[in-house]
């Protein structure tokens, strides 16, 4: 365990030998570090992998529930300091990508490469902000299980419910294990995040962009914007996957990640 600057505990795990290139995996909303299982299994012998639960998620404490993406970046930097890691590869999915994009904008010297999965640089539109408000109401009035069912339908491709029921179930459990305060607090942070589009041109590190071909939350068009904005970036569309591309097609996802990390 490690603490945020507000004193709340952050759960993290290290996998594989230290001394190798550190790769920090940043999970999406409202999951936890367990979503990176296929990547931890595939890469733990070759890299120093770090997974952690963002505040309000998994085993990390929810604190006061008043979050901004800036605080998630504080937590990430605090974790790197705690582990005495000066520079790392940041691999973030969706909200994890928002955190990675703001981290590289704020402290480019701490990042040696970026992997941006199923994510975007644009801030929430008015429509998206109103959807966050509706989601907070659902969590408050109907509870996390009702919220979780709607969210699962949005993040997995329809076929994944038949072909990967164990992954759908694992993600359902991750969502259900989060406290309502953590979920609502994170929805506020997502709605209030900054737009990182203008900062893309400043990204000078190798960048891999991955997106599920059926992702409707952060679709391939959003990945294209990242690809066009980040000079020299590499982009691949993952077949048979929606928003959870690392779980829905781990073979394709890991192959692209492996090829990319070999070059870092």
Contact predicate 51/12, CB 8 Å: yes
Q: Min. distance of Cβ 217 from ligand MLT in angstroms?
A: 5
Q: Min. distance of Cβ 26 from ligand MLT in angstroms?
A: 10
Using CB under 6 A as the binding rule, whether residue 94 contacts ligand MLT is answered as yes
Q: State how far the Cα of 142 lies from the Cα of 242, in Å rounded to an integer.
A: 26
Q: State how far the Cα of 184 lies from the Cα of 164, in Å rounded to an integer.
A: 28
Distances (CA, A) of 12 to 111, 197, 229: 19, 30, 32
Residues in the chain: 264
Q: Using the 8-state DSSP alphabet, how is residue 194 labeled?
A: P
Q: What is the DSSP string of 68-132?
A: -HHHHHHHHHHHHHHTT-S-EEEEEETHHHHHHHHHHHH-GGGEEEEEEES--SSPPPHHHHHHH
Q: Min. distance of Cβ 28 from ligand MLT in angstroms?
A: 3
106: nearest Cα among 132, 80, 82:
80
Q: Which is nearer to ligand MLT, 32 or 94 (CB)?
A: 94
> x-or-dash pattern for ligand MLT, window 243-262, by CB under 6 A?
x-------------------
Using CB under 6 A as the binding rule, whether residue 190 contacts ligand MLT is answered as yes
Q: Min. distance of Cβ 134 from ligand MLT in angstroms?
A: 13
9: nearest Cα among 78, 73, 69:
78
Contacts (CB under 6 A) with ligand MLT, residues 199-218: 217
Q: Min. distance of Cβ 147 from ligand MLT in angstroms?
A: 12
Interface residue with ligand MLT among 10, 22, 26, 29 (CB under 6 A) is 29
Q: Which is nearer to ligand MLT, 132 or 256 (CB)?
A: 132
Q: Which is nearer to ligand MLT, 227 or 243 (CB)?
A: 243
Q: Which is nearer to ligand MLT, 207 or 246 (CB)?
A: 246
Q: Min. distance of Cβ 248 from ligand MLT in angstroms?
A: 13
Residues that bind ligand MLT (CB under 6 A): 28-29, 94-95, 190, 217, 243
């Amino acid at each position: 365990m490690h603490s945020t600057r507000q004193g709340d505990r952050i759960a993290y795990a290290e996998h594989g030998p230290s001394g190798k290139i550190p790769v920090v995996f940043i999970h999406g909303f409202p999951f936890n570090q367990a979503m990176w299982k296929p990547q931890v299994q595939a890469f733990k012998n070759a890299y120093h992998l770090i997974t952690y639960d963002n505040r309000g998620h998994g085993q990390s404490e929810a604190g006061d529930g008043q979050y901004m993406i800036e605080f998630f970046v504080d937590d990430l930097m605090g974790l790197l300091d705690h582990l005495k890691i000066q520079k790392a590869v940041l691999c973030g999915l969706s909200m994890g990508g928002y955190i990675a994009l703001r981290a590289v904008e704020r402290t480019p010297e701490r990042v040696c490469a970026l992997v941006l999965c199923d994510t975007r640089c644009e801030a929430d539109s008015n429509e998206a902000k109103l959807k966050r408000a509706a989601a907070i109401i659902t969590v408050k009035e109907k509870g996390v299980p009702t919220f979780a069912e709607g969210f699962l339908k949005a993040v997995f491709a329809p076929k994944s419910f038949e072909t990967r029921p164990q992954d759908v179930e694992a993600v359902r459990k991750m969502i259900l294990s989060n406290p309502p305060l953590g979920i609502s607090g994170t929805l506020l942070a997502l709605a209030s995040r900054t737009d990182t589009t203008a900062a893309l041109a400043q990204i000078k590190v190798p960048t891999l962009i991955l997106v599920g071909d059926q992702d409707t939350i952060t679709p391939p068009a959003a990945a294209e914007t990242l690809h066009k904005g980040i000079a020299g970036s590499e982009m691949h569309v993952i077949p048979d996957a929606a928003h959870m591309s690392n779980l829905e097609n781990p073979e394709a996802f890991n192959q692209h990640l492996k090829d990319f990390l070999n070059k870092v």
